Structure 1
Amino acid sequence: MSIYAISDLHLSFNKPVGLYDIDFESDVDKPMDIFGWERHYDQVRDRWLDVVGPEDTVLIPGDISWALKLNQARYDFDWINALPGKKVLSPGNHCYYAQSKKKVRETLPQGMEWVDADYTLVEGVVVAGTRGWNLPGDRLWDEETDRKIYERQVGRLRIALETAAKEHPDKERIAMLHFPPVTSRVSSSGFMDLLKEFQVTTCVYGHLHGRAHQDAVEGLVDGVRLQLVSCDYLHFKPVPVQL
């Protein structure tokens, strides 16, 4: 059993589809080919099948579906569910359908979990998560619009990690964030402080695409291993979470 991660699948199926019988013209609402992700769902499928087995777990931290409503997102959830392994999902900035954690969990197929300001256990390891947000001082930060959201998200990560630490004090901890906890421009944040405070082993994150990959910070930082898992950065192949 292994734990893998891949984020930002950005699926947009508009009807039930199988793993292989996808009509590019009629089944996909928002093709990612305009970003150079040519039929990326085929690439994700093939590379997922290469590495993930039925007993493995895949963490998917955000931007899973372009759907605006849950009844649309369920087509993307069902497609992911047809791939091997257990899946643990958390929200991203484009997960507009995720207005209610309860309703998302009721919609997910069996074998898929939704983590948001809380945690689950995967193969004896705590996996806690929330969305995260832009960081103060980063190039996209806007004090007026971002501060409140940022502080709320830091608080939600604290809730998740505090609860996990209280209920499972001796278990290793992984954090799932959609936004990076630090970048090449910002060396500290409330998110990073919490990862250190609660002795998180590894934080997987996504959100960064294309030229923004150069903003990524990876490797061991103040005792926390950071791992960018945006699917285009990984060439659409889930990677083992480094513990």
Structure 2
Amino acid sequence: MFVDTHSHIYSPEFNIDRTEVVNRATTSGIKKIVLPNIDSSSIKPMLDLSASYPNVCYPLIGLHPTSVKEDFRNELEIVRFWLDRHQFFGIGEIGLDLFWDQTFVEEQTEVFRVQLQWAKERKLPVVIHVRDSFEEVFEEVGKAADENLRGVFHSFTGTLKQAEQIINWGFKLGVNGIVTFKNAGVDKVIAQIDPKHLLLETDSPYLAPVPFRGKRNESAHIIQVAAKVAELHNTTPEEIAEITTKNAEEMFGI
């Protein structure tokens, strides 16, 4: 059994065939799918999907860094509103993204700090988005780190040294289709990380693994990610499935 710990299959890219996508996942052995939120516009479709598949889809709540704009305080209030009224299995997707636009970097940092604190207060795991921002994210996590802060660095693309720091904080590394990309270099790092520190994810509809690269990703493709991780560790996909599923169930309480 596999757990896809990061999938946005509630997004419009799946409006035509969402039921088929979920069925392909479950018949492929992906029995649980974790749904990180983006912003206020994604909450309803995410909750509708999790209500339709209550034993398969598990929602998180959070404000994604690329959705942090002038109205970020209103967006944060909406996250807080839902945190008080619905069961969520973590806070995410949160973090810092300095790749697309650095206009709101100060606001992104404030939003990140607030959501880290909420996670600690509620003892919920966080799903952290890092893009062109490892130094800045590490600074914030380092200041917040304690026994109540845990989670996963989603779509890990860092160095071995950065991976070791993340593990020292008690976090997991999220591994997705990037590990199958020939020149990404992530495979060389993941090969040196004990699978007990890993979670498998797809980030659907993005980052489809080889041989689906460039196409819409979906949760069923986690099979290819697991196969690559197994190859890197000279073991079987079944062994990787067992280890990472246990990691995911413990992390998110699912």
Alignment partner of 2:135 out of 147, 151, 159: 151
Deviations 1:187-215 (A, max 9, x none): 333xx243232344x32255849858954
Aligned to 2:169: 198
**Corresponding residue for 1:22?**
none
Paired residue type of 2:129: R
1:104 to 67, 79, 88: 79
Give the SS at the match of 1:84: coil
Q: Is the 8 A contact 1:117 1:129 kept in 2?
A: no
Provide the C-alpha distance between the structure 1 equivalents of 2:24 and 2:120, rounded to a whole number of angstroms. 26
Partner of 1:188: 161
**Partner-residue secondary structure (3-state), 1:131:** strand
Residue 178 of structure 1: aligned partner:
154
Contact 1:208/1:216 (<8 A) preserved: yes
Task: Name the structure 2 match of 1:139.
Answer: none
Q: Secondary structure at the match of 1:74?
A: helix
Distance in 2 between residues matched to 1:48 and 1:121, nearest whole Å: 34
| TM-superposed deviation, 1:229 | 0.8
Q: How large is the Cα RMSD of the aligned pairs?
A: 4.6
Q: Please give the per-residue CA displacement for 1:166-191, whole angstroms capped at 9, x wherever unaligned.
A: xxxxxxx6x32234152xxx4333xx
Q: Where do 5+ consecutive residues of structure 1 fail to align?
A: 13-27, 33-37, 135-148, 166-172
For the structure 1 residues 43 and 177, does the alpha-carbon distance in structure 2 shift closer, same or farther, using more than 3 Å as the test? farther
Q: Which residue of 2 aligns with 1:236?
A: 219
More helix by share: 2
For these two proteins, the number of residue pairs brought into alignment is 181
User: TM-score of the superposition, structure 1-length normalised?
Assistant: 0.51
2:63 and 2:183 mapped to 1: Cα distance? Answer: 20
Say if 1:133 and 1:150, in contact at 8 Å, map to a contact too: yes
Kept in 1, the 8 Å contact 2:129–2:154? The answer is yes
Equivalent residue for 2:146? 162
Q: Which residue matches 2:128?
A: 130
Question: Counterpart of 2:156 in 1: which secondary structure?
Answer: coil
Q: Residues 223, 199 of structure 1: CA spacing in aligned structure 2 closer, same or farther, 3 A cutoff? A: farther
Q: Aligned residue for 1:46?
A: 23
Q: Secondary structure at the match of 2:198?
A: strand
CA distance in 1 between counterparts of 2:130 and 2:88 reads 21
Q: Which residue does 1:9 correspond to in 2?
A: 8
Gaps of 5+ in 2: 92-114, 210-216, 223-240, 248-254
- Give the Cα–Cα distance (whole angstroms) in 1 for the partners of residues 16 and 185 of structure 2: 26
1 CA distance for matches of 2:144 and 2:182? 28
User: Equivalents in 1 of 2:34, 2:120: separation in Å?
Assistant: 11
The one-letter code sitting in structure 1 at the alignment partner of 2:137 is Q
C-alpha distance in structure 1 between counterparts of 2:77 and 2:177, whole Å: 24
Identity of aligned residues (%): 8
Aligned residue for 1:77, secondary structure, equals helix
Q: Deviations over 1:101-154 (max 9, x none)?
A: 4422424672224524254799xx9734432233xxxxxxxxxxxxxx443322
Shift of 1:235: 4.6
Higher strand proportion (structure 1 or 2): 1
TM-score normalised over the length of structure 2: 0.49
Q: Answer yes or no: is the 8 Å Cα contact 1:203–1:226 preserved in 2.
A: yes
Residue 227, structure 1, aligned to residue 207, structure 2: no
User: Structure 2 matches for 1:211-226, cutoff 5 A?
Assistant: 211=181, 215-217=185-187, 218=190, 221=193, 225-226=197-198
Judged with a 3 Å threshold, the aligned counterparts in structure 2 of structure 1 residues 150 and 74 are, in CA distance, closer, same or farther, namely: same
**Contact (CA 8 Å) 1:52, 1:84: kept in 2 or not?**
no
